[in-house]
Structure 1
């Protein structure tokens, strides 16, 4: 084993949360080392996100309303202070990413195009190319990271352990680089290791994400909050693939409907019946499939011929599976999508162990409660990741 002395923070993970932390720490003058087992833009859920980033961006919206929707979706277990901190950072976070080059959809006057998603009172999800937000946003952040001289990235380093001194403070990390173990001492370690979808039979996230960061934090003595709170997305495309392709919630925001094999509505005939919180819709989809009725997302009328340019990622996934969503309903299932629980952390990423921070999906900040509001994940990753970096 070799030892490397790094004078600054080590960030483990290179999704939106980890790289936002890296950029802000570097902007503050720190030298930053990012450890990731996969090349940038690979192996992280951020790049797979379709819907976009929730933020109060219009005259009919506000941070307060966004916070109320967040609390309502979280089934009484959202920390109101954390929710307010998140939603108040919405506009500035979107504008920061746009300034880095994230190509959010815009109207002719420069205002952001926003979509309606489930459990939101108003349309507030800033999107890119209909359903390509995650990869486009992360690509802009990766370009900024590569251009920042104070950030070094090891794209072949897998976290194996945390180093602690005699007081229990985290003072570095142990990483595997090929066959070699490397001890990296650091002023602090920021975990941005993502979720745990790879532990489940069907997931919409990269299968390599198995909760190792949370496990190592627990071994170091960190408090773990609500690990049983796992969100299942109701409209994973059921074509026998794992990870399963995702049919973004924005499709239902545009009017697509959930039906069974006989064409009956799963959640009722009301126009907004399919826009209930994800846990409600996922249970309805699962119940229909278990009962043998099947579950399908019918976007033939709501999207129809506009599919290739309005939702290109979903359209491509369907066509690869031999389905044309313009003429046939899409078979769907509930699949593991997001881990609301994780390493207990505040809005600045501080955990209960000195020297250890956690951001993004591996952290449990109290923002999501028992059910994450759609498209709050990218916002939390960038906003709270940036706060941790600062």
Structure 2
């Protein structure tokens, strides 16, 4: 008896589905393959080309640039320029006599001993047109060191401090507190901003505006600021005191000789005008940073003398090679003279 397909499917035993895909591959996330990260392209190192100087200049002739006027000289053979404008120990002429060589050696030795003598050398400016200029190696080194010192100098951090006073302080306590503040903050090498707030104690009468100005003038005098050059002696921007509450608004011009002496250096100044309220007053002072010994730039003489050892050694080697060349030339000329003399004696000429 034939069964229908549906009946055969319903009556057949259930079978478990068989998967041909491996279990590990099935559990893994099937994503697009990630590309290998490419290395970030590093820009090609292009150092500043070294200047062509002295005997390394391969120009047959050149024009000398005048640094003062910017004008170009006539076209001159390069050996002539080297012999005329460079330091004597850098010149090399093949037709120098022994007397000239000894004189040039003495001159070069005396030049090397004198640190104030400039080291002159020709430097190529351009090839077409052929232009050269004359430089001083010591002056150029001094300029490089000066720029390096300025670049390495870091700005001094500014310190913010506050000082609280009261109108009823005893003169001795006030003088002691101000002197200690000036010694600890304002007279140091670092920069400082000091906010002086003068308050009224509880239960006391607020002072008049004239009394406030007089008290602040004494504070400025003790801290090394000339009250005559401050905003205390003039009307303040927020000075809206009532005429009835301030019967004497006339500024008090107090400028003692001690204040002028203390402010002679000009290190302590006001960076903001003084502010007045009904019972308080505030001063805003700042002290400039004085250059310390470590950040001072060397003098021009010290910079000119601090020529790098590589330059000095290079010049010494050049001078030594020049002396050896002249000595060999002298020996060759002497050998030729001896040969000519021996030939004449042999043939009886």
> How high is the TM-score relative to the length of structure 2?
0.19
Task: Looking at secondary structure, tell me which structure has more strand per residue.
Answer: 1
Q: Which has the higher helix share?
A: 2
Higher RCO (CA-CA < 8 Å; seq separation 6+)? 1
TM-score w.r.t. length of structure 1: 0.18
Greater Rg, structure 1 or structure 2? 2
